[in-house]
Amino acid sequence: MPKNQSTAGKRARAAARRGEKYTAVLRQRREPAEGAFPDAVFRPDHCAHCGRRLDPGNRGLFCDAGCKDSAHTIRWTRRHLASGTFTPAHVRYGVIRDEDYAKALYNRLRFAVAGGYRRSTSPAERDAVVARDGGRCVRCGAPGEEVDHVRGDSPEMSNRQLLCRVCHDSKTQNQSREGMRLALRGRPTRSWSVLLRELVKTADPVRALISQRILPPQPVRLCDAEQWQHAERRLRSERYSRLKDLLEDLFDGEVPRFAPHTPWQEKMDQARDYHSGMYDEVRCDIDECPECSSRDFGGGWVSDDPDGYPSTEEWLDDPDVHGGYGPGSYFAHTMAKDD
């Protein structure tokens, strides 16, 4: 058999195997999320990524944007591992040779452990920057492609500039911690693969994220699985239903009419203020009330009795006095005097 035909046959068989694997991955994505991974952790009313208890003013499933971005990075990397784009060794040691994939993974891991990406630019803002800079890179004069923040996360127009892709990549690499460390060692680089290896080598949070959440065969948390996209809407709806019940409980069943488009945080703040005013000295009857469970009620002192005399919990624990009609109560003494 000619050598070229043998090579072509090998390539065809390899492509067929990759196609079967990719089809299996797609089939797994379409499976329902509930029950697909029984060992994956998800606790209602807790952050799906870090496990901290969520504030009632937060209607989402993550405590902040950083946790949401970290979960998205984990799913993105696991998806490429399942499809064969990356291997565990590529991710563990940061040895991806493809510059585009190295750049994507480097930026995702860097922002995943830094609290998320907070430098968004709307289409209108982008058009304004392009018009101001004449559509040209402010550094080299080439056609501008990307809007860059000059320094920090400030959304002001004065903090934005138009750069070409080459100048933007060079600025990002030189100002990153990994690029600065390499420059101090006399090894300036423009390679994303080198920066990725330096990041994985020196950043403990990145290594922990890779070893504990990305590389395990089965997802550790439900938000790490690709099926999370199918389950997220259902879980958000269930959480919102519980929060609406809590809002009604805090208002004692009489929820006021809010103005249209009132933020949920503002509604919950008003409910807490109302609840604190109504139960300023006594604990309410709601089980695991988030407002009353975190408060101190003055070391046992509760509200005054109807006659204006201060009362204690020990006094209220007396069944005769608390009932108001038993022996030794104020009612019994009054009736004895009348007789």
Could you read off the pLDDT of 31-63 as tens digits, one per residue?
444 455 556 788 889 999 988 889 889 999 998
pLDDT for the residue numbered 37 = 57
- The predicted pLDDT at position 326 comes to 44
- Predicted TM-score (pTM) above 0.85: no
Q: What is the pLDDT of residue 11?
A: 67
pLDDT of residue 235: 92
User: Buried b vs exposed e over 124-155: b needs ≥16 C-beta within 10 Å?
Assistant: eeeeebeeebeeebbbeeeebebbbeeeeeee
Count of beta carbons in the 10 Å neighbourhood of residue 164:
19
Question: Helix, strand, or coil here: 13?
Answer: helix
Helix (H) and strand (E) counts for the chain? 14, 2
Tell me, what amino acid is at 210? I
- pLDDT in single tens digits along all 339 residues of the chain: 444 556 666 666 666 666 555 545 544 444 444 455 556 788 889 999 988 889 889 999 998 888 888 899 999 999 999 988 888 988 998 888 888 888 889 888 888 887 766 667 778 888 888 888 888 888 888 888 888 888 766 777 888 888 888 888 888 887 777 777 777 777 766 788 888 888 888 888 889 899 999 999 888 899 999 888 888 889 999 999 999 998 888 888 888 888 888 999 999 888 888 887 777 767 777 766 777 776 665 544 333 444 443 444 444 444 444 444 444 444 455 555 544
pLDDT of residue 18: 62
Instruction: Report pLDDT for 241.
Output: 93
CA atoms within 13 A on the CB side of 76: 14
Q: What are residue 46's phi and psi, to 5 degrees?
A: -125, 155
Strand segments, DSSP code E, in the chain are 146-149, 160-163
Structure tokens at 196: 């990725």
Owner of token pair 């959304």: 155
* Residue 58 burial (10 A CB sphere; 0-12, 13-18, 19+): middle
Q: How far apart are CA 273 and CA 3, in angstroms?
A: 80
Q: How far is CA 45 from its chain centroid? A: 13
CA angle, 42 as apex, 50 and 26 as ends, to 5°? 105
Q: What is the pLDDT of residue 295?
A: 66
DSSP 214: I
